[in-house]
Amino acid sequence: MTKKGKILVVDDNAGIRSALGILLPLHFKETELIPSPSVLVSKMAQMQPDVILLDMNFNTGINTGNEGLYWLSEIKKRSPDTEVVLFTAYADIALAVEGMKRGAFDFIVKPWDNEKLISTLRGACLQSISQRHPESMEQTGKVNAEGMRWGRSASMSALKRTVDKIAGTDATVLITGENGTGKDMLAKELHRLSERSLRPMVCVDAGALTETLFESELFGHVKGAFTDAHSDHAGKFEQADGGTLFLDEIGNIPLHLQAKLLRVLQNRAVTRVGDTKSIPVDIRLICATNRNLEKMVNDGQFREDLYYRINTMHLHLPSLRERQDEIQPLAEMFTEKFASKYRRCVQGLSQEAVEILKRHRWPGNIRELQNCIEKAVILADGQMLESADIMISASPVPDTGEDTAAETLEMAEEKAIRAAVARFNGNLSMVAKALEISRPTLYAKLKKYNI
């Protein structure tokens, strides 16, 4: 990847400067590090940085944190297109949030995560460069943007037209669809196409939040709010301020916690656990679920007022079996991806392999297809994925009926076992490993199918 962007670091901690002096040159075109803001103005004139990573406190006796806000104002006054990322300790998060309101691009908390730091600085660089040289960003956008794969089906074409219309707005969006259809990718696409694309997108698996951590994770807490609250903590709503908050599996939130979420969405403000101060948040909300929320509302399992609050725009992702034309292109994309990842010489799929893929029901949708191709690429012997490499049923999709579906699953299982036995020349240890089952289970199935 071509290194772009000029980063100026202002921090009085020699250890931090030393660590960043090793890390940042690996990712950016030019890096300068200075210990004090006293030479900041002259260094800016000399270097003309795209981004300044600015510590909030220095050893000069000025009020805690206010020095960072002062220099932020000075930077933006002298060079409005230079982006500032604030470098702060946990205790100064409130000041960092105030800094973002005054024009900072984002803030990084010490001790930092390298991946998060690099990602934030890259985003700030893109923002700065696009403001100074908008004409230079057109090609960059084409290269770096990871858009969603839409396919050519009528349902996906209609969905894309709707996405293009609403992406630039702040309308709240509810995405529905089966597991594995790519609801998270669609949420990221909405954020990528929005005016908030250079601000953070915070993703939360709402169904995985325990009841005890629900408020703390979403709304934050203050030091001493509970036993393990050793410092102030900004919740997901605050972290997403100015950007997008994606609540996945929202249908799994218990009924009694839905009221607390609704209150925050109505007020667009959070109150941290253990505090009384209300903190305004500016977010674009996107939710997703694989459940039927309308039925849950009728059954009294989901609040009707919350449902209408999150359902300003409704996008439904069709299952993969409803998007037959996308199976082959997706399979080819995954084949190329995993051949590169695992350094295999696989270059494509035979027509027989493609036909098997198209006949499968794909209950796990795109995620299942991806896993299927990954396994096939790993185990393949030749340059093309053949029908024997695809460990699924080649039988036609049944129209209806549980008995027929059960029969088809057994046929798929038998075919997968026979194909694996043939591939590994009867080596049952290899067969069991490839099918991800135990040897006793394999023996039982061999007996069942008279193999």
The reply to whether 150 falls in a domain is no
The two tokens of residue 215 are 């408020």
pLDDT tens profile 201-228: 999 988 778 777 888 889 998 888 887 7
Residue 261 has pLDDT above 80, yes or no: yes
- We report the CATH number of the domain holding residue 11 as 3.40.50.2300
Same domain, 206 and 306: yes
pLDDT tens profile 352-386: 999 999 989 898 899 899 999 999 999 888 899 99
The reply to whether 151 falls in a domain is no
Q: Which of 411, 417, 427, 405 is nearest to 447 (CA)?
A: 417
Domain closes at, from 108, 143, 178:
143
The reply to whether 282 falls in a domain is yes
pLDDT tens profile 267-287: 999 999 999 999 999 999 999
The reply to whether 152 falls in a domain is no
Residue 128 has pLDDT above 60, yes or no: yes
List of residues 6+ apart from 194 with CB closer than 8 A: 167, 168, 169, 170, 244, 284
pLDDT tens profile 347-359: 899 999 999 999 8
**409 versus 202: which is more confidently predicted?**
202
Q: What is the pLDDT of residue 59?
A: 63
Same domain, 128 and 238: no
Residue 43 has pLDDT above 80, yes or no: yes
Out of 27-36, 120-129, 254-263, 399-408, pick the least confident. 399-408
**404 versus 186: which is more confidently predicted?**
186
pLDDT tens profile 48-70: 999 999 998 876 555 455 788 88
Tell me the pLDDT band of 90, cut-offs 50, 70 and 90. Answer: low
Q: Containing domain of residue 258, as a range?
A: 158-316
Domain closes at, from 119, 143, 167:
143
Same domain, 334 and 416: no
What's the rounded Cα separation, in Å, for the pair 253 and 210?
9
Out of 22-31, 63-72, 194-203, 317-326, pick the least confident. 63-72
Q: What is the pLDDT of residue 396?
A: 42
**Average pLDDT value for the chain:** 84
Q: Which of 397, 385, 412, 393 is nearest to 331 (CA)?
A: 385
CA distances from residue 121 to 31, 52, 56, 388 in whole angstroms, order as listed: 12, 9, 17, 47
Domain closes at, from 273, 288, 316:
316
DSSP state of 181: S
Same domain, 136 and 163: no
Q: What is the pLDDT of residue 206?
A: 86
Q: What is the pLDDT of residue 406?
A: 40
pTM: 0.56
Same domain, 184 and 310: yes
The reply to whether 57 falls in a domain is yes
Q: What is the pLDDT of residue 316?
A: 94
Same domain, 32 and 119: yes
pLDDT tens profile 287-319: 999 999 999 999 999 999 999 999 999 999 999
The two tokens of residue 99 are 């800094």
Same domain, 388 and 402: no
Percent of the chain with pLDDT over 90: 44
Domain count, the chain: 4
